[in-house]
Amino acid sequence: MLYSTVLRFLLLPLVLVGTVLCSSWAAVQTDTLPSPPQVPVRGYLLMDYQSGAILADLKGEERMEPASITKLMAGYVVYKALKSGKIHVDDPVPISEKAWRTQGSRMFVKLGSQVSVDDLLMGMVVQSGNDATVALAEYVAGSEETFVKLMNEQAAQLGMNSSHFTNAAGLPNPEHYMSARDIAVLARALIRDFPDQYRRYSVRSFKYNNIEQQNRNRLLLTDPSVDGVKTGHTESAGYCLVSSAKRNDTRLVAVVLGAERERNRFSASETLLNYGFSFFESRKLYDANTPIVTSRIWKGQENELPLGVTQPLYVTVIKGQAPHVSTTTTVQPIIVAPAQKDQPFGDIVVKVGEQEVSRTPLVALQEVPESGWFGRMIDSILLFFYSLFH
């Protein structure tokens, strides 16, 4: 019996190669893809939501003033507090003098009144109220200054390396900046992590204190595929807009910064979105938390370890190039327990033709603790023979 067990595991391959999605490995032809459009803004970036692929950009990594697009990060921090149970949507929030006096766009809350978290979120998202944003910041963190620290910490966690915040609402400051790439990363995270809260960004108007204000994102009226996200404007930042649209199975995020005229931010965003939808498509390769390969694990309470990805794996290709997509999975040759959930043990390489387009960690989908001393001893013997033959 020991002999048959040895043979079984000695025959395990050293490297596991995943199924090739398509047999063709021909080079991708890019001569049918026109150059990205030229639009009258300081910077822009177009991203595929599903894969995170950047489809076009102009100064996408450059630091620029985001104005009220800052409120996306303020919202993200508030939504985390809601999700954790620290605050609740029906909590009454006292309006401080600082919040009431905040300059710029307003929800028109009254000094000394109490406004629900839900209403303040609508005032921040739809009306772009600076007063609402400061009131939420003070309620979540005790002060706007502490809240801004949370915003900067969250930016670091999301990999927003070209962003820094000095206030919650997006008021001008030389040390307050974001890049178009970082804004797209943030918008993508917000849509992914808080889909219920994201519905607020498609609301066209909101009335509070007998004052009804329209959502400043005019694309919500002109393009039925657009369901967000946020405008921004100051004299120094110009007119800015981050928009998201979904057509069929593809969602795109477009960021435009520094337009000189208000209409230019909408026309530029529309042009970028149409370019992306016309020439690109996203395809799902693997579902999240579903075994892609299974590997032998030694000295564990289980003999097999399922490996997969923590998020759905997508690839974005030029339309018509899907037949050239292939994947290869590579697994660490010897895995010894213990294994922690989400611990990487290999990767998945996605290619379009001969070009590598992404490399994603292949992680453990479950925890496998060490076995007892007898199991570890038996596996040590088996592993010795396995090593001889490999």
Q: Which of 51, 68, 105, 371 is catalytic?
A: 68
Q: Quick one: tokens of 305?
A: 């370890």
Q: Which of 51, 96, 105, 128 is catalytic?
A: 128
Cα torsion 87, 206, 101, 155 to 10°: value is 50
CA atoms within 13 A on the CB side of 115: 28
Q: Hey, how many other C-beta atoms are within 10 angstroms of the C-beta on 38?
A: 9
Please name which of 286, 379, 295 lies closest in space to residue 331, comparing C-alpha atoms: 295
Q: Which of 51, 71, 244, 299 is catalytic?
A: 71
Q: Quick one: tokens of 84?
A: 């954790």
Q: H or E element: which one contains 205? A: strand 205-208
Active site residue 71: yes
Active site residue 128: yes
Q: Which sign, positive or negative, has the C-alpha torsion 28, 287, 199, 167?
A: negative
Longest dimension (CA), the chain: 83
Please name which of 286, 330, 321 lies closest in space to residue 24, comparing C-alpha atoms: 321
d(CA 196, CA 184): 19
Catalytic residues: 68, 71, 128
